[in-house]
Chain A
């Protein structure tokens, strides 16, 4: 006896719901207990990853250490009095620096995410797994970026005697970061498995 009556059998709709909420695809095709089991497991694993590694394990491509969008600048050669023609990546530590990145004469070339999206993604490939968990990854990433902003006036003495900004909530390191990121990325990969299976079951139900 089927556990519940099937509601919707549209494969794209089931895929979308399965991505929006882990297990949502099963709910849509009427398999509620299966949906509840995977939802609790995947969301639990994702949250466990954040507990182990801290919220800063959510490290979206295009955003830097201090929670501002990484910018590309074209360096200016002061000796020759002209742009070098080479671009470098700047990690702003304030909204002012984000608006006008680089030193005097450098020409801003816009956010690195827009200019070189594949390069940014290649720098943080684990985010591909994490994003498969759905909008909760986006919400956690937004929170991570928000809490990373340096508090006003907080700097430390860096190498060479210069001052460096301090992250609002620092990123974890070593095993904490690795295990936390692994948990959240595996949660996303398991959700991919669930998305495929719920879509397959929805497709079978049509025949």
Chain B
């Protein structure tokens, strides 16, 4: 019974509900992947990719934080 309840990676979902603050952090790998692949496609030289991808990653994350803050503010105003 215990073995059927234990977490098996790749088979069982990651228990993100245990720590409610954890799931928004899952935005980061997604933003990183989008930034790296997009800049890998766009850059002429692959040596430019790390720097360009880092800038894009930070821009996306800051944009998401600003959008979340704006929506939270709007939700607070609307009551």
- Least CB separation from A197: chain B residue: B41
Whole-angstrom distance between the Cβ of B5 and the nearest chain A Cβ: 12
Q: Does A172 contact B (CB under 8 A)?
A: yes
Please classify how large the interface on chain A is, using the bins under 10, 10 to 19, 20 to 34, 35 or more: 35 or more
Binds B, one of A75-83, A84-92, A122-130, A174-182: A174-182
- Least CB separation from A193: chain B residue: B41
- Contact residues in B for A174 (Cβ distance below 8 Å): 17
Please classify how large the interface on chain B is, using the bins under 10, 10 to 19, 20 to 34, 35 or more: 20 to 34
Q: Does A190 contact B (CB under 8 A)?
A: yes
Binds B, one of A39-47, A98-106, A107-115: A39-47
Q: Does B56 contact A (CB under 8 A)?
A: no
Per DSSP, chain A at the interface is helix
CB pair A51–B37 under 8 Å, yes or no, is no
CB pair A182–B36 under 8 Å, yes or no, is no
Given A52-B16, A197-B41, A37 contacting B46 (CB threshold 8 A): yes
Q: Does B14 contact A (CB under 8 A)?
A: yes
Given A34-B40, A175-B23, A176-B17, A190 contacting B12 (CB threshold 8 A): no
Measured CA separation A55–B8 after assembly (Å): 10
- Contact residues in A for B29 (Cβ distance below 8 Å): 45, 48, 183
Q: Does A194 contact B (CB under 8 A)?
A: yes
- B residues bordering A, Cβ < 8 Å? 9-14, 16-17, 23, 26, 29-30, 33-34, 36-38, 40-41, 46, 49
Beyond the given A51-B14, A52-B14, please list 4 additional residue pairs across the A-B interface where CB-CB is below 8 A. A38-B40, A50-B10, A55-B11, A172-B12
